[in-house]
Chains A and B, each alone.
Chain A
């Protein structure tokens, strides 16, 4: 599904990613861990198509196509979803209008008919119940005045609405109390299928008590320095990231 090869990335002429290799197949759940500043969000941004991020070399193939050639909206139409580390507040744009525009644009691109107003509202209700997003929030402007936890739930809500093939969730667990964390993990687990894939980015291990990854990668200073099964997460928890520094230098 996703093949990242020897990816080098700069932001403002500063090299942030230094030769990333990663392959994600349908049905898989990957966790990318690593200390702050190691480049996790930068990787997520490249996948979603953020413009400030420059790919200097390497390639990203998505279902056989060149992902880097696509606009952000085209990536979304083809099933790529980014759960933002910092969801953006957009005053004046209602959640309903936002989601209706997004869902219908995606359907249009896929040759499907637009949802009727009532079908759309039914879908909204169903999915907001699913992630435990309070009804009054879907009546507000996008993320405006949402608490940290509500913003993260809102990301999972949007994921549920758009039903993506490849979800990249950037620190969707950070800043959450235990109930919200469980709700987010529960959402991810329930949305998991044989034909979709999820990449969760986190720098805490606690999310992985609720989401069992097939693979764990450690991103450190712009490189994936370790890849293994879920036991790697436990090892990290025990030894902390300091241990990496020594490992890598060896």
Chain B
């Protein structure tokens, strides 16, 4: 028999976990994280998990997922696996700088430094704490809105490592950087990791992040990633989520953009049990631009919730959001998107669109756009649609001899393609096309090598 825990009990459980393990956490933790833990502990103690009445979490109540007893592992050295042997991304012609993380820790055999362009840094937060204290001092924990998000404090309490990237002024990363986050454990596991991406003035990069689970275990991942984009920096960030149906993925992304900077975030959720993506973008310099796109394909009892908060702080900035979802079976989804225009931000252009297709009557989609506009000379719009497949289009296709199944596929594929085509890394785009193709045809859509390797 299960007893529903009260909010306080669940919080206490993690406060105890922290206290009982603090020495080990600090021993293997990055210094900059260690320095913030006590403060984070106090913050989390006060805030706890997002409340049921929290508008930002209206459609996803996370607390029950934390009631579950996960294993936590705070001494990374105990992992004795050779990831290179069991895991290799097999996308042909995908030529990238590749790094792996294993259960949130930077994988020790990574060695991208040899081939990276001069002065570009891709390393662990642990190493960055030692080698680049000036950069961390300037950027670390500066963008995450920890006072508004108990889960960011939670992340800071427990995170020991993550990825640090620095692209210096005027440097263009000639190939995409691929970060593969692997969850691999025989036991259900709680994973926290903390990442920082610093892109100086006039730099350019394309980052591909793949989230994978290699065993059919329940993993709860709670990650925080902070971005700094200096003047005229240009970033494309493609996040591909492909985890098992038991896994819980909570991601907090915070982006700080200076003037003339450009960011494009593509979030593709192919698989996952429960996924919550928070994307917070602050346009803090004139003429900064943000494009945020998301696509999810869900079935069975999966749940995907995309939350966005685009803040136009300065004038003459542009943002476009386009989020789409396809829901089958009893899947549920949410889009909770906010445009916030500050009083100073005249001449803002901000668009938001959310379109969903529900393939069954049981699938449920919640769409909640929020516009907070405090400037008067702006162009803002939002629109949301949710519904079945377009009957008229179905009939048109079938009347030309295209079979029902194929017509359905063509329409769903076209629906998804609007997002997928925004991935500029071509081999990756092709692979996502393939995966979506197979997914829509009712086949399993794991990336070839990213499959279950535990028995």
Contact = CB atoms under 8 A, between A and B. Distances in A.
Contacts of A141: 414
A71 B398 contact: yes
Nearest to B414: A92
Given A87-B396, A88-B393, A98 B401 contact: no
- Give chain A's interface residue range (CB within 8 Å of chain B): 20 to 34
B415 A72 contact: no
A73 B402 contact: yes
Contacts of A50: 395
Interface in B410-430: 410-411, 413-415, 417-418
A76 B414 CA distance: 23
Contact of A90 (B399, B403, B414, B418): B414
A52 to B, nearest CB: 8
A43 B401 CA distance: 19
A84 interface: yes
Nearest to A79: B401
A92 to B, nearest CB: 3
- Give chain B's interface residue range (CB within 8 Å of chain A): 20 to 34
A93 B414 contact: yes
Interface in A98-147: 98-99, 101-102, 105-106, 109, 141-142
Interface in A135-184: 141-142, 158, 162
B400 A84 contact: no
Contacts of B399: 48-49, 72-73, 75-76, 81-82, 84
Contacts of A51: 391, 395
B188 to A, nearest CB: 40
Q: Which of A73, A87, A106 has the most CB of B within 10 A?
A: A73
Interface in A49-64: 49-51
A243 B72 CA distance: 87
Contacts of A162: 400-401
Interface string A33-52: 00000000000000011110
Given A51-B395, A88-B396, A73 B403 contact: yes
Given A76-B398, A93-B410, A102-B401, A88 B417 contact: no
Contact of B401 (A76, A90, A97): A76
B450 to A, nearest CB: 27
A240 interface: no
Given A93-B410, A97-B410, A98-B410, A88 B392 contact: yes
B377 interface: no
B414 A105 contact: no
Nearest to A47: B399
Contact of B404 (A71, A87, A88, A158): A71
B395 A90 contact: no
Nearest to A86: B392
B397 interface: yes
Nearest to A106: B401
A92 B401 contact: no
Contacts of A102: 397, 400-402
Contacts of B401: 73, 76-77, 102, 105-106, 109, 162
Contacts of A105: 401-403, 406
B400 A158 contact: yes
Contacts of A93: 397, 410-411, 414
A71 to B, nearest CB: 7
Contacts of B406: 101, 105
Nearest to A158: B400
Contacts of A98: 397, 400, 402, 410
26 contacts: A48-B395, A73-B398, A73-B399, A73-B407, A75-B399, A76-B399, A76-B401, A84-B399, A88-B390, A90-B393, A90-B396, A91-B414, A92-B414, A92-B418, A93-B414, A99-B400, A101-B402, A101-B406, A102-B397, A105-B401, A105-B406, A106-B401, A109-B401, A141-B414, A142-B396, A158-B400
List the 10 shortest-distance A-B pairs measured between CB atoms, nearest first.
A92-B414, A76-B401, A72-B398, A102-B400, A88-B396, A106-B401, A93-B414, A73-B398, A90-B393, A88-B392
